[in-house]
Structure 1
Amino acid sequence: MIRVIQWATGSMGRTALRRIIDAPHLELAGVHVYSAAKAGQDAGTIARRPETGILATNDIADTLAIDADVVLHTPRITLPYEAMAEDVIRLLESGKNVVSTAGFHWPQAHGAAYADRLHAAALRGGVTLAGVGVQPGVVVERLTLAATAMCSTIERIEIRETVDASAMASPEFVFGLMGLGSDPAVSDIRTGPLAALYSTLFSEVLHFSADAMGSHVERIDPHHDLVLAPAEIIIPAGTIRPGHVAATHWRWTAHLANGVAMTLAILWTADPTLHGDGTTGHWIVDITGRPNVRMTLDIHEGDPAAPPTRALTDATMAVAIRAIPDVVAAPPGLFAYQPQGVWQA
């Protein structure tokens, strides 16, 4: 039985908490929350499950003192990106493995000063740190790279992601972390803290991919576009005024030393009809080489009454829960799933 602490109980965290409570191979050891209102509540109450006898705490000292094998770390990603590193370092040094959905996929992308602190903390605690998720985590690192095995030569890899925010209810997420609704005449998010946050996060995907292909990134070229609302757009999270940002199109192209150009493009939109056919909720992967390879991936909700965001939440938590035994069993240090048979020049 693996003893697990659930860290954070937002939409992702509540799903994670239910999965831990329900899993026969996991035992809930503790719950860490950020709000004083949730502190002292039974984990079952937070997760809409029968009472467990495990009470939530917002005191990190209490969390560090819990006897547990692993922390499932699911906070909302923060500005700046590295802000969560201090908490993770303390968890590692306390002898707890950490499985995070909020970064830490390939810390080596940010240089030795950042990665070495995390690695050293894991070694001091005799434990392992892993960043997991769907994207980053699976779409490129475990699916796209595996598909390169079908190519004898590769010139370009392009991954295009579309996220439909038209049904999302959280203003903090839609207008804060996604940057929708902002006024470009006041602040251009393409050059501000959000751009820095996502450039840092998604650079890990590009550096990991280069390493898996036996190469390295020589440079990353950003190219970001905004789509402004032609008229008022009303969504559950709030209202987007005309002339304000209705969609963000983030793009990064990494030029690898082996000659491959790799582009990661992410479209976040409040109205899919602003973008041609309105196809959303999936990834399209194009590998240009000999031969060319195209893949599409869609994660959707089968229950029409359920919120459309539930499918991706379920998928992300499934990846994280599945990773727990692998991370606990791994040698101390930094962990990432390594794809097999990846193309190399």
Structure 2
Amino acid sequence: MYKVIQWATGSMGRTSLRRIIDHPDLELVGVYVYSEKKAGMDAGQLAKRPDTGVRATSNIEEILALDADVVIHTPRITLPYEKLNADVERLLASGKNVISTAGFHFPDAHGDGYAAPLREACLRGNSTLAGLGVNPGGFIERVVMAATGFCAQLDHIDVREMVDASAMTSPEFVFGMMGFGKDPAQEDITKGPLAALYTNLFGEIFAFVGHAISAKMVSFEPLHELTLAPNDLAIGAGVVKKGTVAATLWRWTAAYDNGARFTLSILWTSSPSLHGGETGGHWLVDITGRPNIRMTLDIHEGDPSAPPSRALTDATMAAALRGIPDVCAAAPGFFSYAAPGAYRARL
């Protein structure tokens, strides 16, 4: 039985909380919330479950004092990217392993200035830090990298993701963190703090790929694009006004010293009709070399009445919770799953 603390109770956190309460091998011992309105509420009430006897708190000192094996850390990603680090360092130093869905997938990508305090906290607390999920933290690192192992020669990995945000209901997330509704004449989000945030987050994948294929990154270039609303678009979170950002394409390409390149494109859209009517929630992968490989991963909801985003939330939290025994058994420091049999130019 693993003693678990749930950190934050947004959409990801509530899903995680339900899974923890329902799981036969997990014991919920604490819940951290940011909202004072939620503080003092029973975890079962937050998760639409019977009362558990565990009450939420907004006091980190109470969380640090708990005896727990692991903290499931599911806050929203914030500006700046490293804003979450201070709390995570305190959790680690208190002796608790941390599994996050909000970063920490490959901390060494940012250099010692970023990674060293986190690693030192792990050593002080004899604890382990892992960033797990679907993307980042799962699909590319564990599935796409495994597929490259079928190549005798690797030239280019091209991964394209689309997420349909039309049914998302959080204005703070859709119009804030996703950048929808921005007027490009007043603010170019492809060059500002938002672009830096996503470069830091998804840049960890590029560092992991280099590690997996035993190659050094020699260049890393962004090529972001915006799609503007042709008319007012009513979506779950509000209205995207005509002429403002209705979709963001975050795209980067890295080159490695073994001759391989890797392109990651992430399209977040308020309406798939803006892009030829493609449906969201899937990845398309083309691996070019000898031989060429094409893959599609579709994570979708089986219940037509449920919001499309629920499937990806379920998958993300399944990956995080599945990692509990492996992270708890790992040596102090940073944890990530090894890419199974990834391509290597040299053996």
What is the TM-score when the length of structure 1 is the normalising length? 0.99
271-280 vs 103-112, greater mean Cα deviation = 271-280
Cα distance in 2 for partners of 1:93, 1:53 equals 27
2:281–2:312: 8 Å Cα contact kept in structure 1?
Answer: no
Give the letter aligned to residue 184 of structure 1: P
Give the letter aligned to residue 194 of structure 2: L
Asked whether 1:251 is paired with 2:251, we answer yes
Partner residue, 2:9:
9
State the Cα distance separating 1:218 from its structure 2 match.
1.4
Number of aligned residues: 345
Partner residue, 2:177:
177
State the Cα distance separating 1:287 from its structure 2 match.
0.4
Asked whether 1:149 is paired with 2:146, we answer no
Partner residue, 2:202:
202
Partner residue, 1:323:
323
Q: Which runs of 5+ in 2 are unaligned?
A: none
Asked whether 1:282 is paired with 2:286, we answer no
State the Cα distance separating 1:307 from its structure 2 match.
1.2
Q: Can you list the C-alpha shifts for 1:278-302, whole angstroms capped at 9, x where unaligned?
A: 2322000110000000000000000
Asked whether 1:80 is paired with 2:80, we answer yes
State the Cα distance separating 1:277 from its structure 2 match.
3.9
State the Cα distance separating 1:339 from its structure 2 match.
1.4
Partner residue, 1:139:
139
Partner residue, 2:50:
50
2:20–2:26: 8 Å Cα contact kept in structure 1?
Answer: yes
Cα distance in 2 for partners of 1:313, 1:147 equals 25
2:218–2:256: 8 Å Cα contact kept in structure 1?
Answer: yes
Asked whether 1:64 is paired with 2:67, we answer no
Q: Can you list the C-alpha shifts for 1:102-130, whole angstroms capped at 9, x where unaligned?
A: 00000010001111111111011001000
SS of residue in 2 equivalent to 1:196: helix
Partner residue, 1:261:
261
Partner residue, 2:31:
31
Q: Can you list the C-alpha shifts for 1:98-156, whole angstroms capped at 9, x where unaligned?
A: 00000000001000111111111101100100000100011100000000111100110
SS of residue in 2 equivalent to 1:285: strand
Cα distance in 2 for partners of 1:333, 1:230 equals 49
Identical counterparts, % of pairs: 63
Partner residue, 2:301:
301
Q: Can you list the C-alpha shifts for 1:47-93, whole angstroms capped at 9, x where unaligned?
A: 11010100100000111001111100000110010000000000000
State the Cα distance separating 1:276 from its structure 2 match.
1.8
Q: Which runs of 5+ in 1 are unaligned?
A: none
After superposition, the CA RMSD in angstroms is: 0.7
2:158–2:263: 8 Å Cα contact kept in structure 1?
Answer: yes
SS of residue in 1 equivalent to 2:190: helix
Cα distance in 2 for partners of 1:106, 1:216 equals 15
Give the letter aligned to residue 15 of structure 2: T
Cα distance in 2 for partners of 1:325, 1:319 equals 12
Give the letter aligned to residue 92 of structure 2: L
Give the letter aligned to residue 10 of structure 1: G
Cα distance in 2 for partners of 1:120, 1:56 equals 29
SS of residue in 2 equivalent to 1:190: coil
Partner residue, 2:344:
344
271-280 vs 36-45, greater mean Cα deviation = 271-280
Cα distance in 1 for partners of 2:247, 2:277 equals 15
SS of residue in 2 equivalent to 1:337: coil
